[in-house]
Chain A
């Protein structure tokens, strides 16, 4: 036997052992535990239609000692790289960072829980979730039963990461498309890592599962009782947050100590206890730290200000760092006695404590002792003009604002007693603090914002985790047929281009139109930061079920895996397609039949890049806001020019559908209005029935007319037969179609890309 064949067989044996191939819950598909080349043809097929679109962030490559190399025009770097390949390399780097962040989180949680419960600890997601891990099932081919099985998934993910990162080295990959394929691979694995992390948390910490109606929890800094000792959790990883809550409960301190969180740890801790508070999204981190309301800050990982130790010290807040990802140069107190830690912290020492139980006890005890000694006063409106007295309208603050806000003008108005412009700036502020840092006269801009920030509180539903199988059974058919017009996933960070309330507006628009609206992370918080006339947030107004018109907080960043997992479950539970090692078939199904669309309206992090790219490989399009596009690669078609031929799976013949659905895999839009129109369009799928298409077009046309004033000028591309035309707009649409010379298009019973590119997957695999 040839060496290559032997190697292949050896790997197959190893894979079979890891995934327990002999277990016959489903046949093993064509790509269990795929390596970088295994799904490359799928990627290339996607990118044939959805070509990478680059907006290079730099004319130069500065990665190695050859450079800097100018890559403008037709120039190549000293190593031979061109501008597209270099930009794709940057994208892969971002995706590797994003996936590593989730993977590092998952690995840490898993390690902690295995130490606590053992490798054989069973995965049980309640009596309504049997397809417990659609990503692990689909990508690895493993049906995880224990925490030890989750560890196998992480081992695999990590092994792939090393190959991807190695390709970033100088003198490796020379093709932009191949870098993209690697980015798609790594981002697919990001969803595996996120799934590992969240399943481990749910089973290990006992989060709610198999339930939709999770508690409504308090949000907003106004919900923090500043008269009580207050612990602020910042980051994403609940490994220390949970013992803090346990310590408080065990010592009967529930009414004496406040626990609040910023960013995803807030979502995690409120899944563990509804007594905890969500202070707010990422964009409010610096603002809240500078109020000094927190007596102790406990950091874990990701999206924490890297100057948090400095900021905490400025306001006299104690600080404990708890993970190896973010140590801030602090002294390691992990092996010290708790009494000594508390004493040193009360003397002003900031600490690094890797032992979660010790960190928890120290945090609570320090908060209890420190709080009575501290003053927590906010700036009043009357104090603002005096604070602004040195302001000279040089506008340096406005020039450095990443959200392009007229900060200088607002300070000028505030100096003269008019706080309205500053209020407007605060509502759009993404919280970086660069304005204040840049001010040559040291005007305390962030402090002044305390006078306009208000202390309003809101209700947000606690994160619920995976979608239940019974819910998928109910909505699978309407989603695939199109009568539920789509799943709208609003995810990511809070660097929104305009008012923070825009996310609530978008979510509500689609909920009213009976889409299923799912949210995660800081977007899930932001969506709750708007009340109607009766004082209700969308979480109080709309049902929490995965059904038409539902508004669901799925959870933190890692819970994004449950959104993509829900799409996979539709293929599995409704369409009975096997998941096991069957990625191409499942992704193809979702691309052609599951009308889902993501929105990352304010994403900033590399994690957002990998989450979105992972959605794209799975066939889910994503719309980005202006900030979110700064990783500078989109996947876009050109609807009029591109080839929209697919295979009819039942007839086994190629059909030119002439229908650009979905039109793009990832695109950016400039305004909220355009975002809604684009998202409605991106939920259209070739598989829609006439009734489903009518419903989807009703929303596309309705939103387009509302915000752009006319019928869509590409409407003719989405009307296959006269029966697709929405009754409400029939006369108008018929007149338009006649004007543009519309002709009927073929309708497929089983649209698929399988069979249109080289793949080991037979066309029969898509027929269910």
Chain B
């Protein structure tokens, strides 16, 4: 079996437990729909990455709106979200939200209980690698899912490395469509 290497080599797995790669948007959507308390965490690259003429953060907003998924706005993403008419459920910075997530007794951003699925979009891969390592080791009570175009071995579910942005855009569009669909 050939080992999947992350796009950025700083994100290479040195270990035994790697993410499940999923390329089918409907499968991702199914996992999200199945979650009781999903959370979407947005990072600073969502402000600087464009995809199909839109900022990545706008995809994040669309994903969140489909199932009323709460958003944690890290870095300085909150300002842009407000401009887009979205009030994030929290604005912890990335490490602070991770620090909460690893506690199974934490009440979550909506005070309804800790989240069981945490989606990440728009993070530097080096920080993503570190943060996902934390959750892999210390948060067995939840699953992590990455939405960026790179493979993240420390996640529970990750996309593969998309060579072209068009593939990534197509995936995110399909994910949004599937999330909107009433089918489970």
Contacts and interface: CB of A to CB of B under 8 A. Distances in A.
| Best-buried of A83, A402, A627, A669 by chain B (most CB within 10 Å) | A669
Contacts of B100: 638
B50 interface: no
Interface string A611-646: 000000000000000110110101010100100000
B28 interface: no
Given A59-B17, A674-B75, A708-B79, A404 B124 contact: yes
| Best-buried of B78, B125, B131 by chain A (most CB within 10 Å) | B78
A167 interface: no
A686 to B, nearest CB: 21
B16 A59 contact: yes
Interface string B1-43: 0000001111001111100000000000000000000000001
Interface in B43-67: 43-44
Contacts of B127: 626, 629, 668, 670
A708 B78 contact: yes
A401 B126 CA distance: 11
Contacts of B106: 641
Given A60-B15, A629-B130, A630-B130, A707 B76 contact: yes
A298 to B, nearest CB: 32
Contacts of B126: 402, 404, 626-627, 630
Contact of A60 (B16, B43, B44): B16
B134 A713 contact: no
A678 interface: yes
A537 interface: no
Given A54-B137, A636-B96, A709 B82 contact: yes
B10 to A, nearest CB: 6
Contact of B93 (A55, A59, A404, A669): A669
B138 A54 contact: yes
B178 interface: no
B78 A670 contact: no
Given A636-B99, A638-B100, A673 B138 contact: no
A726 interface: no
| Best-buried of A60, A626, A641, A668 by chain B (most CB within 10 Å) | A626
A254 B96 CA distance: 54
A627 B130 CA distance: 10
A404 B10 CA distance: 9
Nearest to B130: A55
Given A59-B17, A60-B14, A708-B78, A713 B90 contact: yes
Interface in A648-675: 667-671, 673-674
A72 interface: yes
B91 interface: yes
B69 to A, nearest CB: 19
A27 to B, nearest CB: 41
A465 interface: no
B133 A56 contact: yes
Nearest to A632: B130
Contacts of A497: 124
A408 B125 CA distance: 17
Nearest to A70: B16
Given A53-B95, A73-B140, A669 B75 contact: yes
Contact of B82 (A55, A636, A710, A713): A710
A58 interface: yes
A58 B10 CA distance: 12
Nearest to A434: B9
A57 B133 contact: yes
A132 B16 CA distance: 52
A709 B78 contact: yes
Given A55-B133, A59-B16, A670 B91 contact: no
A400 interface: yes
B123 interface: yes
A674 B10 contact: no
| Interface range for A | 35 or more
Interface string A668-689: 1111011001100000000000
Interface string A41-76: 000000000000111111110000000001011000
A70 to B, nearest CB: 5
| Best-buried of A73, A630, A667, A670 by chain B (most CB within 10 Å) | A670
Given A56-B137, A630-B126, A708 B99 contact: no
Contact of A708 (B7, B76, B131, B140): B76
Contacts of A124: none
A629 B13 CA distance: 17
A439 B170 CA distance: 30
B168 to A, nearest CB: 15
Given A399-B9, A626-B127, A710-B82, A58 B76 contact: no
Interface string A533-569: 0000000000000000000000000000000000000
B44 A671 contact: yes
Given A83-B137, A707-B79, A72 B7 contact: no
Nearest to B74: A670
A670 B10 contact: no
Contacts of B96: 636, 667
B82 A399 contact: no
B155 to A, nearest CB: 13
Contact of B124 (A58, A60, A670, A709): A670
Contacts of A669: 75, 93-95
Given A402-B10, A670-B124, A708 B134 contact: no
A83 B102 CA distance: 15
Given A72-B137, A404-B10, A671 B75 contact: yes
B8 A399 contact: yes
A639 to B, nearest CB: 9
Contacts of A629: 95, 127, 130
Contact of A53 (B91, B123, B134): B134
B16 A55 contact: no
Nearest to A626: B127
Contacts of A708: 73, 76, 78-79, 91
Contacts of B78: 708-710
Given A629-B127, A670-B75, A710-B82, A53 B99 contact: yes
A424 to B, nearest CB: 12
A43 B65 CA distance: 45
A670 B97 CA distance: 13
Given A73-B140, A678-B93, A710-B82, A54 B134 contact: yes
Contacts of A677: 76
A668 B82 contact: no
A59 B124 contact: no
Contact of B76 (A54, A400, A627, A674): A674
A83 B96 CA distance: 21
A638 B114 CA distance: 15
Contacts of B138: 54
B8 A674 contact: no
12 contacts: A53-B134, A58-B15, A59-B16, A72-B15, A72-B16, A629-B130, A636-B99, A668-B127, A669-B75, A670-B127, A678-B93, A708-B78
Given A671-B75, A678-B93, 15 more contacts: A53-B95, A54-B134, A59-B137, A70-B15, A72-B15, A404-B124, A629-B130, A669-B93, A670-B44, A670-B74, A671-B76, A673-B75, A709-B79, A710-B78, A710-B82
Q: Which 10 A-B pairs have the closest CB atoms?
A: A59-B15, A709-B79, A673-B76, A55-B130, A671-B75, A670-B75, A58-B14, A671-B44, A708-B78, A55-B134
Interface of B: 7-10, 13-17, 43-44, 73-76, 78-79, 82-83, 90-91, 93-96, 98-100, 103, 106, 123-127, 130-131, 133-134, 136-138, 140
Interface of A: 53-60, 70, 72-73, 83, 399-402, 404, 497, 626-627, 629-630, 632, 634, 636, 638, 641, 667-671, 673-674, 677-678, 707-710, 713
